[in-house]
Structure 1
């Protein structure tokens, strides 16, 4: 029996529905730390969160502004393109929908580009970005995010592969068409549905 089949069988023995696990994934209790390059040096005295592009007015918030915003909590399964999945992760942060309500998007806006330190970016259709439960998280499992996991803010979009849940977020840009982000330019799928195994260029 292959590693992946044994992993799924173990979920059944634990009373966990194996259908929660997308094809080609294995379940783990660990939370691996993965990124391209080094962890950024985050200076909170100069940190800001900028919303620009196809909006009526560019917005820039400091960390003190983010701290005053309402927070919500979500529990979600997460699925990394490198084939690990972790169930029931708990996050707390500012709902994406709340930030969206603070801006006036132009009617031609259809997509967003998430912007982060080191030039990391990720593209999302607006309907996926605004999906209920999506957060700009500052807390994981009751503790402030560590730098390795995205401090001070990490986007959490759990219905897509986890590279879309960008670490070290600095804001987002509204666009009138789809465009590849950092990983999408380097071979990853433009959308990234884990249950359709949309990992790389050419995956349906």
Structure 2
């Protein structure tokens, strides 16, 4: 049974407080930072680690870890929301905004979508216009400290307005696309877009997700 199917087996939590609409429907607020991912946590030698921009019609660009750290650094404070029904308010992430990353990069005309790649063999799709929002970040630090390995060290994407499976851990590259195509979870029962306030959790019919799934995971 796939993850999407497992998450459809129980009723969503009854919200006692939506915090003025700040807490999206079907979510539970936590002070902890649950750890969820598929597969093993990768290990890196930063001397050889790289990050790539590529795609059809693209002048490919590759960055080292040091080159990314030399770009303008920005801290954003955002709420984050997981499809497994936890939300965490006021999270401070520091890194390079995608706008700064692409400042001197020519995105080919006709590009409408991107595929985000992370280790090991993970991918998720986004509309280009979402990637270019001002608060989308290639983050290396959380609450003033480097990301832990289990939270995506050395870099992860932060896409606050979408469910957190779109915020790719261990990010290694962005592919620019003229046509959309689904990523890993999108091919396995999750919504193609994943907007949190519209509860875009699954593809197909509106199905339920267990209230307590994330309680079974590790926390920071």
Asked whether the 8 Å contact 1:8–1:26 carries over to 2, the reply is no
Q: Decide whether aligned partners of structure 1 residues 43 and 189 sit closer, same or farther in structure 2, where only a CA change above 3 A counts.
A: same
Asked whether the 8 Å contact 2:12–2:26 carries over to 1, the reply is no
CA RMSD between the two structures: 1.6
Gaps of 5+ in 1: 12-16
Asked whether the 8 Å contact 1:81–1:163 carries over to 2, the reply is yes
- Cα deviation, residue 54, structure 1: 3.3
Alignment map for 1:193-204 (pairs within 5 Å): 193-202=195-204
Q: Give the alignment's TM-score, normalised by structure 2.
A: 0.85
Flag the structure with higher helix content: 1
Candidates 122, 130, 136, aligned match of 1:134: 136
Q: Decide whether aligned partners of structure 1 residues 139 and 71 sit closer, same or farther in structure 2, where only a CA change above 3 A counts.
A: same
Cα distance in 1 between the residues matched to 2:196 and 2:12:
19
Cα distance in 1 between the residues matched to 2:205 and 2:176:
26
Name the SS of the counterpart of 1:20 in structure 2: coil
Cα distance in 2 between the residues matched to 1:177 and 1:159:
22
Question: Is structure 2 residue 174 aligned with structure 1 residue 172?
Answer: yes
Match of 2:84 in 1: 82
Cα distance in 2 between the residues matched to 1:105 and 1:202:
32
Moved over 6 A (4+): none
**Which segment drifts farther, 17-26 or 59-68?**
17-26
Question: Is structure 2 residue 16 aligned with structure 1 residue 8?
Answer: yes
Cα distance in 1 between the residues matched to 2:61 and 2:16:
46
Cα distance in 1 between the residues matched to 2:194 and 2:12:
24
Could you report, residue by residue, the CA deviation over 1:34-54 in whole angstroms, capped at 9, with x for unpaired residues? 001111122212210100003
Could you report, residue by residue, the CA deviation over 1:82-106 in whole angstroms, capped at 9, with x for unpaired residues? 0000001110100110112221111
Cα distance in 1 between the residues matched to 2:60 and 2:186:
26
Asked whether the 8 Å contact 1:197–1:203 carries over to 2, the reply is no
- Cα deviation, residue 56, structure 1: 3.6
Higher relative contact order at CA 8 Å, sep ≥6: structure 1 or structure 2? Answer: 2
Question: Is structure 2 residue 110 aligned with structure 1 residue 108?
Answer: yes
The count of residues paired between Structure 1 and Structure 2 equals 196
Gaps of 5+ in 2: 1-10, 207-220
